[in-house]
Amino acid sequence: MRDGFTRWLRARRPDAVDLRVAPIGQPPTGLSSETLFVEVSWSTGTSSTPDHQSLVARLPPSGEGLFPVYDLASQGRVQSILAAAGLPAVAPLAVELDENWVGAPFLVMARVDGRVVRNDKPFLRTGWLAESSAAEQARLHSAFLDLLAAIHRVDLTTATFAFLPGAERVGTGTTLEGELDRWTRYLEWAAEGDAPAVFTDAVRWCGENLPDPEPPASLLWGDVQLGNILVGADMTIAAVLDFEMASIGPAELDLAWHLVLHQMTVDRCGGDLAGFPDRTATIDGYQARLGRSVADLRWFEVFAALRSGAIMVRAARLLARLGIDDSWLTAGNPTVTLLAELIAG
C-alpha cells in the first residue's frame, strides 16, 4: 500500500522533490470500507523545510464485504455536494478508479482533526463523550440534529442526484417502494436464501403498511450515527463521514435509523447520557429544524430495524465462513428482538 500510494502521488506531483509516504496508519473503528491514514512529505526545492500533508484514503474492503458494490465515486460526489452547500463534509481530492496502484480503487481526502465516538465500545458509559459534562453532551446532540436536518434540507434541484438510489422515483410518491425492493433484494443476497423468519415477516409487514401518502423526498445520509462524525474540542462537528448508504427518499428514513440504532445502544448500556434529550424531545427538536412534522415513524423504525438486521445477517454469514459461531444472530440479538416488538406494535 505504501509503495502504491508513493507511486501514485509522485505521478500526480511530478514537481515534488523527494516525495515520501510514512508508514500507513489505520483508525481503530470502521466496519465496512477500509480507511487508511497517509502522511506525505516532499520538498519544493525552494525551502529547506519540507512540505507535509495528512491524507485519508478510503477503499472497498479487501475480499467480501457487507455490501455487494462499493461505489466510491458516488460517495465522493455526495461529499462534494454537501461541502459545496457549506456542510462539514470533506470534498475528495481525488477518486482513483485504476486498481493498478494499490490493488483497489480509492478515494483520497484531506485528513480532518477531530475525536471519534467509538461505537465499537459502550460509548454511553466509557470514553471521552461519557466523561464530558451534560452541557457538552447536549451541545453535541444539538449540533448533530442541526447537521442531520441541514442534509435533509439540501435543495434537490441544485445538483444532479441521478446517481443515487431513489432519485429515479422522486415526484412519483413511490420512493419507499423502491427502497423496500432494494433492501429486500439485499436481504436475499445477504442471507444467501436463508433469512430468519422475523426478517421475512418484516418485509411483508413493510409492504402491507407503506405510508400513503409518503413524505417528501430528501437527500439521505444513510448511516446516521454518532460514530460517523468527527467532533471538535468545542463539541462542534468537524466532519461528517460515511456515505456508502446515501440515497434519495423521505427524511424519516434517516431519523428512524438514528433512533433505532441509538435506542439499541441505550438498551445495551443500561441508560442514555445525562445531556442527551429523550426520544420525544429529539423528534421535536429535529422537526423544528427540518421545518415540517415527521410521519409514520413506526413504519420507518420497522424498516430501519429490518435494514440494520439485514446487514447483521450478512456479517453473520461472513463470520460463519471463518468458522465463527453465528447463533448470536437469532439468540438474544437486540435487533431481532426490537424488530419483532415493532412489528407486533
- The number of domains in the chain is 2
All residue ranges of the chain with pLDDT < 50 are none
pLDDT at 301: 97
* Separation of alpha carbons 141 and 117, rounded Å: 12
Burial of residue 233, with CB atoms counted within 10 A of its CB: 0-12 exposed, 13-18 middle, 19 or more buried:
exposed
What is the total residue count of the chain?
345
Could you tell me the pTM of the whole model?
Answer: 0.94
Residue range 9-29, pLDDT digits in tens: 999 999 888 999 999 999 876
Domain containing residue 183? 115-344
d(CA 177, CA 91): 31
| Residues 200 and 135 reside in one and the same domain | yes
Q: What is the pLDDT of residue 29?
A: 66
Cα angle value 173/178/183 (rounded, 5°): 145
User: Quick one: 103 and 159 in the same domain?
Assistant: no
CB 136 within 8 A of CB 235: yes
- At residue 112, the pLDDT reads 96
pLDDT number for residue 45? 67
Q: What does the pLDDT read at residue 31? A: 62
Could you read off the pLDDT of 148-206 as tens digits, one per residue? 999 999 999 877 899 999 999 998 999 999 999 999 999 999 999 888 899 999 999 99
Do 189 and 155 fall within a single domain?
Answer: yes
Helices 279-290 and 134-152 meet at what angle, rounded to 10? 40
pLDDT recorded at residue 220: 98
Give me the pLDDT at residue 119, please: 82
Which of 75, 110, 145 terminates a domain? The answer is 110
* Residue 124 shares a structural domain with residue 168: yes
pLDDT of residue 142: 98
Together in a domain, 25 and 101:
yes
Mark which of 60, 86, 110 sits at the end of a domain.
Answer: 110
Give pLDDT, residue 305.
95
